[in-house]
Structure formats: C-alpha cells, structure tokens
Amino acid sequence: MIEKYTQGYYIPNISRLAEVILKELDVPAEVDIQPLKIKTSNAISYVEGYASKYTPSEKAKYTIFIDTEILKMDELSDPMINLLIHEIWHIRQMECGWLRANTEYTVAVWNGIHFPMTIPHDKRPWEIEARMMEEKYFSHIKELI
C-alpha cells in the first residue's frame, strides 16, 4: 500500500492511480511516492530502488520522486497518468532484471548490454520502451480511474 500522507502531502488521487497502474502492469513491488527535492536536471520525476533479487529477505521497494508542485495538485491529469505509467514501467524493467545500473549511476546494463549514462536521455533504449508503454497503456488506465 502506498503511503498517502507523504511528508505533509496528501495525495489520495495519485496514490490510487499508482495502485491501479501497479496492478495493471503486473508489478508486485512496494512503491512509495516522495517529493522530488533536488532538481538535478529538467526531470520532473524519477525512480529509485533495488530489485527483489538484490534484497532477497524483503519485498522489493522503490521510490518514485515527483516534482512537489505536481504532487500538491494531486490531479488525475493525462500527463500524470503517463508519468506514472512511465516510472512504474522502469520499476518493472528493474524487477525483471532487464535494467540495472551501477551504484554510481554512470553505467546501465540493458538486456545484457552496457550503456554509458552519457548517452542522451531520450536515446536510451529503456526510456524509449517506457515511452512506448505510456502510449500502450494510457487509454486502458484512463478508463479504470
């Protein structure tokens, strides 16, 4: 269950949306939503966590960080649906072992192939796939919420 009272943010709509997407995308991980405090790039959201095989004693735990202004609105807008499909798909990629990164986050391994993180964000194959999943699941998720 996603914590609805996250650091002073009451986000019942976003939390429910995340639950729906986790279920529909068949991602059995524990996911927490937190405000994005440090803006390192132009990103409005990103996901962090460790796949269950690296923490075998407990269930996999991931945190999705989202821009505070977006969290405060707690809207079920179309961009919000796409944002969560995208980030939750990254969780699926990590849970399935398709995507791994080193701890310094300088190298990613995608389907056994090493990629330096210097490649542009929109050219990364796991990003291309996550964007494709936004398109694939958007209408279905919108119908469910």
Nearest to 139 by CA among 86, 82, 97: 82
Count of residues of this chain found to bind Zn ion when the rule CB under 5 A is applied: 2
Taking the complex as a whole, how short is the minimal distance between the CB of residue 97 and Zn ion, in angstroms? 17
Q: Provide CB contacts within 8 A for 107, sequence distance 6+.
A: 101, 114, 115, 116, 117
Q: x/- binding map, residues 102-141, to Zn ion, per CB under 5 A?
A: -------------------------x--x-----------
CB of 15 to Zn ion, least distance (A): 20
Question: Considering beta carbons, is residue 71 or 88 the nearer one to Zn ion?
Answer: 88
CB 58 to Zn ion: min, Å: 25
**R_g of the chain, CA atoms, integer Å:** 15
Closest CA to 108 of 89, 94, 91: 94
Contacting positions for Zn ion (CB under 5 A): 127, 130
